[in-house]
Structure 1
């Protein structure tokens, strides 16, 4: 399709230059405020950095080990990868029609009927924003736990305190804030480096583990060993609960829509990056996790680790060397470095975009772009502060990390499903001529997206093991309900009076106009 082709009816333009892109953005109701200096590889790198496959699967390994072991680790990854491809393709199609940093909340507004546009936009906007915040919190928190877990490689009796974990977590957030602020012009280079670092790290880790392992598990163990006894759940349900490991890792691809207004050709490059990042992540995870199954030591000691991060001990047990384990952990923490920066970048842009339309209390502050640094500084600070406050949950419960992962997966999943559902209910009329089209498979792919996400809302509120204690409780539902209450209260007090959805765009005006006789 020609880069300057137009979609009849909705005015979609796949921009071939910055002038066309600016015109398209103005047509959607916004003016250019950010510098377009990112290409497809940069967005792909950002999405890949946020998913951070080796890091994400490592920090949530205890979930899969509790709920089934090798079968959950391997086949859970394969299953969720296939579902994630359907979700990413559904979002990519919509993004190619509406390439704006508003992302999911803008899409919901445009794809729903004018009567419900504002409410659909408000609901999706809050789900997406909270999802972005909690993904950032969970990524940063998981890495902070890993840093302290590294000390146990040499001092097995050391048990990190809640305050120590929180201090490392807060320091990491401040570091990400400073890098996002002072190195904003170089974020595209960091995203590119992330691709190479992750690929090289996976290769070095699996070669080291396979070469240094004294014993290896059989193929039968690696592909079919299933033990749900640690969870207390029935076997089939335990496998589904264990899918949180893969679902949490494969969830950040939709966040990159918030970078649309910093990409040179967003209608083409962002959708491609979404889908390719999931495909790359799926392959990377398979290459990383299958060797882990072959060298997996006894599971029970791994689940008894005080830090709730068994991967450092796994590295040490397999290699027989604390030094080798520390070296492998350093590679994982390098991936975490890119993930924390990228997730905070996406969260701040999402917050900024939603604030432009008055979706967040105090929007007049959060929507400002700092001319000196070229970033929405206030939104960047707000995202950091919210994540910092979420860290306080850990002082009351060691299960805080599971709450972050669960809420992030649920909120982002819901924010992805809502515009897709709106499109389905209107029989996909608004994306019929999308530049990135799913064609005749659109209804099936969209249907898979909505059904899976609806099921996962219930699934990921479940504790990973029963009986439940205050320490093992999955507080995802509590955090989710807390943010929902804040959003509902703000809507009742103020937003329902002044929030009318995204800025009045030429698209919405054309749709609302009466048809000529």
Structure 2
């Protein structure tokens, strides 16, 4: 279908090759477009662009994401990796987000990547393409939720070390806090679903300008600034010593990694790549957005642009006040940021105040990532992609959410937490798998579009135009390289506890997907129900 765009002009609405005469409201047009793609409207369309932008921004959670993965960049290069790695990955992420936004504007459904893969593949490979991408996307959503929630749990326990230097969080304590956080996110998603729109919007304006922060800085004009700005102003204002510009922009030390310098820089990109990952997850909310063909693509790209700027504003001052790296890498909690805050400010109270701001951002991210993961699970289950799909595809009439899909997503994440009992590198495994799986699920439909000459997105409402081929190529090449990159351990030599278990977790989920395909999906999974609208043109 070359023209799948939804064009409303007040007199008629064109959807694909069909035209509906008469005046059609945007809501009716959106519902009709969804029916044309093979689905009925089951969820309430209550979200706008700002809310989706807030959710995408919340899932990326730049100050939180870069803080919880700081040890990776410190190990693999330090300031140069932190700053220029962020710049590089931000540019690549804009290319990926633009590629996905273009496809999403043509096929605005909660199926997201697995639906796009089916539509953009040739009919012969449509079902398999959909199945493969669906599993990659679903696992990516689950592991992003696990990594976000787990990282915040580590930070909570690390807060105790600000006042008790000899306290070492145990694996069981971390896992229990992690489970409690998952449960909290689940309950909020169930009982406060109607307020998620407001919650996502609040995330954009998270301005925890608390009395503690203002009093520490003693600059009243800080009131109203965003949380991350207050953190960096506080750090710069209270630091006894500051690094030179040469150190902040050019210092590189990969001696802690054991890798050759060039390769260490690439391995350290996981800090930025993991943080700038979740924007594609918001496609799972297309069926809760009022004008998804316009609003969701815009939110994807704008959220990455906003995150890129936010990261620069946050990370550059960190480089200027960065203390001795070795003590940061030796913290028992594996989360160096609390110690960095305490060292720079010289006050446990100030450090706790800054950490509170980060944990506030984390709360938005944990809730939002579980929301997106549950919608992805629900959407893929509608087409029978997951064992027990008849349970996970149900929408609870009382709460208006895919309750079973929410519970399944929570349980899977809870089980993943058990990895930490056997390996201290569990968090790196979650971040690696999330980045790899989501990256692959993003790349596949883009690759299909490229191979077919971008014919299917020629008239996309959100179009990349003449630069589309170049942008799509950058997307596919980078993601292909990152699959290898993010399976690498942060440092060598490797021990059983420091190994990067991303490949193991990835292989485990792949085994489940392959087994289910052999047992059931090979014969019964036919891809999205809207396959009738797919072009029959052979590539």
Q: What TM-score range do you get, normalising by the shorter chain?
A: over 0.9
97-106 vs 499-508, greater mean Cα deviation = 499-508
Post-superposition Cα deviations, 1:313-361, rounded to whole Å, max 9, x if no partner, equal 0000000000000000000000000000000000000000000000000
Moved more, 498-507 or 472-481: 498-507
Partner residue of 1:242? 268
Q: Which residue does the alignment assign to 1:86?
A: 95
Aligned to 1:317: 343
Task: Tell me how far apart the structure 1 counterparts of residues 379 and 350 of structure 2 sit (CA, whole Å).
Answer: 44
- Residue aligning to 1:186: 195
Q: Alpha carbons of 1:2 and 1:388: their partners in 2 closer, same or farther (altered >3 Å)? A: closer
- Is the aligned partner of 1:166 residue 2:144? no
1:18-417 equivalences under 5 Å are 18-197=27-206, 200-417=226-443
Q: Offset of 1:486 from its aligned partner?
A: 0.5
Deviation (angstroms), 1:203: 1.3
Preserved contact between residue 122 and residue 536 of structure 2 (Cα < 8 Å): no
- Give the Cα–Cα distance (whole angstroms) in 2 for the partners of residues 394 and 12 of structure 1: 55
Number of the residue aligned with 2:211:
none
Contact 2:338 2:355 in 1 (8 A): yes
| Pair 1:219–1:409, CA change in 2 (3 A) | same
Distance 2:498 2:142 in 1: 23
Calculate the aligned-residue CA RMSD, in Å.
1.5
**Using the alignment, how far apart are the partners of 1:184 and 1:400 within structure 2?**
30
Alignment-derived partner of residue 4 in structure 1 = 8
The answer on whether the counterparts of 2:168 and 2:332 sit within 8 Å (CA) in structure 1 is: yes
> Which whole-Å CA distance do the structure 2 matches of 1:3 and 1:32 have between them?
20
CA contact (8 A) 2:36 2:530 kept: no
In the aligned structure 1, how far is the partner of 2:201 from the partner of 2:391? 32
Are positions 1:454 and 2:487 aligned together?
no
Moved more, 30-39 or 495-504: 495-504
Give the Å deviation of 1:200. 1.2
The answer to whether the Cα contact below 8 Å between 1:104 and 1:124 also exists between their aligned partners in 2 is yes
Cα distance between partner residues in 2 of 1:235 and 1:494: 47
Give SS of 1:512's match: coil
Distance 2:19 2:281 in 1: 22
Instruction: State the distance in 2 between where 1:323 and 1:513 align.
Output: 65
Task: Say whether the 8 Å CA contact 2:8–2:26 is kept in structure 1.
Answer: no
Could you say which residue in structure 2 is the equivalent of 1:422?
Answer: 448
Q: Distance in 2 between matches of 1:12 and 1:28?
A: 15
In 1: Cα distance, 2:199 partner to 2:7 partner: 28
Q: Answer whether contact 1:27 1:507 (CA < 8 A) is retained.
A: yes
Aligned to 1:437: 463
> C-alpha separation between the residues in 2 aligned to 1:490 and 1:174?
28
TM-superposition CA deviations, 1:38-59 (whole Å, max 9, x none): 0000000000000000000000
TM-score, structure 1 as length reference: 0.97
CA distance in 1, matches of 2:8, 2:383: 29
Is 2:536 the counterpart of 1:512?
Answer: yes
Q: CA deviation at 1:121?
A: 0.1
TM-score, length of structure 2 as denominator length:
0.93
Offset of 1:512 from its aligned partner? Answer: 2.8
Q: Deviations over 1:167-199 (max 9, x none)?
A: 000000000000000000000111111111166
Change (3 A) 1:318 1:482: same
Contact 1:139–1:340 (CA under 8 A) maintained in structure 2:
yes
Deviation at 1:11?
6.1
Distance 1:408 1:3 in 2: 35
**Structure 2 stretches lacking a partner, 5+ long:** 208-224
CA contact (8 A) 1:399 1:473 kept: yes
Corresponding position of 2:501? 475
Distance 1:211 1:239 in 2: 30
In the alignment, is the contact (CA less than 8 A) between 2:56 and 2:282 conserved in 1?
yes
Rounded Cα–Cα distance in structure 2 between residues aligned with 1:378 and 1:467: 43
Contact kept in structure 1, 2:171 and 2:421, CA below 8 Å: yes
Q: 1:58-84: per-residue Cα shift (whole Å, max 9, x none)?
A: 000000000000000000000000000
What is residue 222 of structure 2 aligned with on the other side?
A: none
User: Are the equivalent residues in 1 in contact too, given 2:6–2:293 (CA < 8 A)?
Assistant: no
Shift in CA distance, 10/329, structure 1 to aligned 2, threshold 3 Å: farther
Evaluate the alpha carbon distance shift between residue 355 and residue 457 of structure 1 in structure 2; reply closer, same or farther with a 3 A threshold. Answer: same
2-side partners of 1:41 and 1:203: how far apart?
21
* Preserved CA contact (<8 Å) 1:10 1:430: no
Distance in 2 between residues matched to 1:18 and 1:220, nearest whole Å: 55
Q: Does structure 2 conserve the Cα–Cα contact (< 8 Å) formed by 1:176 and 1:340?
A: yes
Whole-angstrom distance in 1 between the partners of 2:344 and 2:165: 16
Q: Is the 8 Å Cα contact of residues 279 and 303 (structure 2) preserved in structure 1?
A: yes
Q: 2:214: which partner in 1?
A: none
CA offsets per residue over residues 487-512 of structure 1, 9 Å max, x none?
0010001111100000044422xx23
Deviations 1:187-236 (A, max 9, x none): 01111111111661111101100000000000000000000000000000
CA distance in 2, matches of 1:318, 1:430: 53
Contact 1:10 1:507 in 2 (8 A): no
